[in-house]
Amino acid sequence: KDTLKILFPMSKIYSLFIVFLLPCICLAQNYKIKKNNFFNKLTKEERRIIVNKGTERKWSGKYNNHSKTGVYVCKACNNPLFKSSHKFNSKCGWPSFDDEIKGSIVRVPDYSYGMNRTEIICSNCKGHLGHVFEGERYTDKNVRHCVNSISLVFIDIETFLRIKANP
């Protein structure tokens, strides 16, 4: 009987772990950086931001004031992320987009630095892009994807259409 009393509470703890925590741990694995050659050609600074979830200095990114027509793709894997028509000037110091190309981005809760934010990562390589904010009323869509320029590559519309036509 004494052994059963000792084991029974432990089995409850293990049952709770299996039922509640194990699925969370398994789901979290989907958001880890893929171990692939996507990141082999990145510079030290690109790795700091894309792989290690860093942030580039405010106002320093080359796409902050960029306004050409085309598509922004992931620096690591070339996954199309944003159309230039999604871009707007939020005056926050980083490129801002009020929409994304469907299926290109995954949202992940981010509690780092004592904040409650939503990180955005590339759906293909899981590289860090930035954060998304809602309810700020910058645009009619009421969404701001705040993205590190260093996580992006811009492809003008003619080049993008040519690549898409001849993969």
How far apart, in Å, are the Cα atoms of 154 and each of 67, 69, 91, 151, 160?
10, 9, 20, 10, 9
Q: Are 100 and 91 in contact (CB under 8 A)?
A: no
Length in residues, the chain: 167
Selected catalytic residue, list 74, 77, 125, 146: 146
Query: What string of H, E and C letters represents the secondary structure of 11-32?
Result: HHHHHHHHHHHHHHHHHHHCCC
Q: Based on the residue annotation, tell me whether 125 is a catalytic residue of this protein.
A: no
Enzyme catalytic residues: 146
